[in-house]
Amino acid sequence: MKDLLYDPNNIFAKIIRGEIPCKKLDECPHTLTFFDINPQAPIHVLIIPKGSYVDMNDFSSRASIEEQAAFIAAIGRAAKLTGAFEGGYRIISNVGGFGHQEVPHLHAHLLGGESIGPIRSR
């Protein structure tokens, strides 16, 4: 597998360091959850680890089990805190070029609040 170089100046790293603001929903020692600046659904939040991980390839390879468990737990909390838990929702994590990942810091999108439609459009 190709080595992933983490860019400490990516926008989510700046949010974690408090250099730029975010609309925070939830935080724990290992994760931060905030509202997407360009929501694609009535509920659209981003769950990120505080550690420096480029994407799910990187996170699943290098993160401790504690960090990985905290990430999953944060997704579960986000579903409850936003109310998405009731009606259903989608979790997406884009990886690399084929995945159309724009920000090179691992994030899970949680989308809900209405029907999110098919898994992909062709």
Q: How far apart are CA 77 and CA 118, in angstroms?
A: 24
User: Of the candidates 35, 41, 63, 46, which has an alpha carbon nearest to the alpha carbon of residue 108?
Assistant: 46
Q: How far apart are CA 111 and CA 4, in angstroms?
A: 27
Told to check if 11 binds ligand AMP by CB under 6 A, we report: yes
Told to check if 19 binds ligand AMP by CB under 6 A, we report: no
Told to check if 100 binds ligand AMP by CB under 6 A, we report: yes
Closer by beta carbon to ligand AMP, 38 or else 65: 38
Binding window for ligand AMP (CB under 6 A); candidates: 50-58, 65-73, 101-109, 110-118 = 101-109
107 is catalytic: yes
Told to check if 95 binds ligand AMP by CB under 6 A, we report: no
Q: How far apart are CA 35 and CA 108, in angstroms?
A: 12
Cα-based distances in Å from 7 to 26, 104, 105: 24, 7, 8
Least Å from the CB of residue 88 to ligand AMP: 20
For the annotated catalytic residues, the residue numbers are 107
